[in-house]
Amino acid sequence: MPTNPFFRLPHTSSAERLPELAQFAFDHAGELCDPAHGCCSYHRGWSMVRLLLKGGALPAGGAFIGAGLAGAARDGRCRVLLSGSADTGLPALILEVLAAAGLDADLVIADRCATPIEQNRRFARHLGRNFELHRAEVQTLHIEPVDAILSHSLLNFVPAAVRPALVTTWARLLRPGGIVLIHQKLVDTPFVQDRSGGLPAFCARLETAAREFGHDVDAVARIVQAGSDFWVSHAPESRLSEADLRVLLEGAGLGIVMIERMPQRAGLSPKDEAGMSPDTPQSLVIARRPLAA
């Protein structure tokens, strides 16, 4: 596996049809998201912010993910579990980077929330593909083993007490020799998140973008309110350090192949656009389930 730099792919996917899927989440997250999870403002706003303020850019880390999945593929295919899916961006990225390597994906998506699951059901139907979709906590899954598991910017939003069970489940679901790919900010020192001064500017940019996209006055107002809710309500459970991650992976019996910091922040996430993340580079992590004795 090559070392840094793994260059991100700041491109969009025309196959994703993000305008349609972002509008679906904006209109239906209120009825699909479980109030007990507190994720409605996130799922209602995420795709819309990515569409309007990031031009629909796919998540960062495409080259890293593509190289990892290509290495895990067998017989021209890679069975991939996406552990948590904010929307359809990561599935679109997985399909594109594998196709670029001449490979296909058998995509398994698990998320406890119905909103991204329904977005991906629509995405798969548009592509004429069958995604294996599970609306469930990953820890409850019992599925055929996978070649690779992708976790992208997830672990900071998982309660610390739940993380060991999650990572142990990853190890259980991997085939022997399979890999976990993690694209994650690792923060070794605490920081104070101050978003108080940036909200007006963020809302102003979102309003301008929504108007330029062609939304009417009422829709613009609702989009700006959703963006404001996204900004205010969504924050990490607790930050994860490299030492924490090593303990989690090794405790689950996964061998660490690589942990490397990217030289600069990715800057493509709606969380970054919203000023919700510190100026911390992403880390690229590969861990492997040992081959059976």
Per CATH, the homologous superfamily of domain 14-183+233-288 is: Vaccinia Virus protein VP39 (3.40.50.150)
Give the span between the Cα atoms of 164 and 166, in whole angstroms.
Answer: 5
Give the span between the Cα atoms of 187 and 282, in whole angstroms.
Answer: 9
Q: Can you give the length of the chain in residues?
A: 293
Q: What is the pLDDT of residue 236?
A: 66
- Partners of residue 181 on adjacent β-strands: 150, 286
Q: What is the pLDDT of residue 225?
A: 95
Q: What is the pLDDT of residue 233?
A: 75
Q: Which amino acid is at 193?
A: Q
Burial (CB count <10 Å: 0-12, 13-18, 19+), residue 10: middle
Q: What is the pLDDT of residue 235?
A: 66
Element (H, E) at 288: strand 282-288
Q: What is the pLDDT of residue 263?
A: 75
Residue 246 backbone zone (phi > 0: left; psi -120 to 50: alpha; other: beta): alpha
Q: 3-state DSSP call for residue 97? A: helix
Q: How many CA atoms lie within 13 A of 9 on its CB side?
A: 19
Q: What is the pLDDT of residue 157?
A: 86
Q: What is the pLDDT of residue 12?
A: 73
* Cβ proximity of 86 and 54 under 8 Å: no
Q: Taking the model in full, what pTM does it have?
A: 0.89
Q: What is the pLDDT of residue 264?
A: 60
- For 50, 124, 206, 275, the CA distances from 198, given in Å and listed in that order, are 17, 36, 12, 7
Give the span between the Cα atoms of 30 and 244, in whole angstroms.
Answer: 35
Q: Mean pLDDT per segment of 10 residues, for the chain of length 293 residues?
A: 37 85 97 94 95 94 95 97 95 96 97 97 96 96 97 91 97 98 83 64 95 96 94 75 96 96 60 52 94 72
Residue that the structure tokens 């409850």 belong to: 140
Per residue in 107-140, pLDDT tens? 999 999 999 999 999 999 999 999 999 999 999 9
Tell me if the bond preceding 270 is cis, omega within 30° of 0: no
Helices (H) and strands (E) in the chain, counts: 10, 7
Q: What is the pLDDT of residue 148?
A: 98
Give the span between the Cα atoms of 116 and 107, in whole angstroms.
Answer: 14
DSSP assignment, residue 269?
S
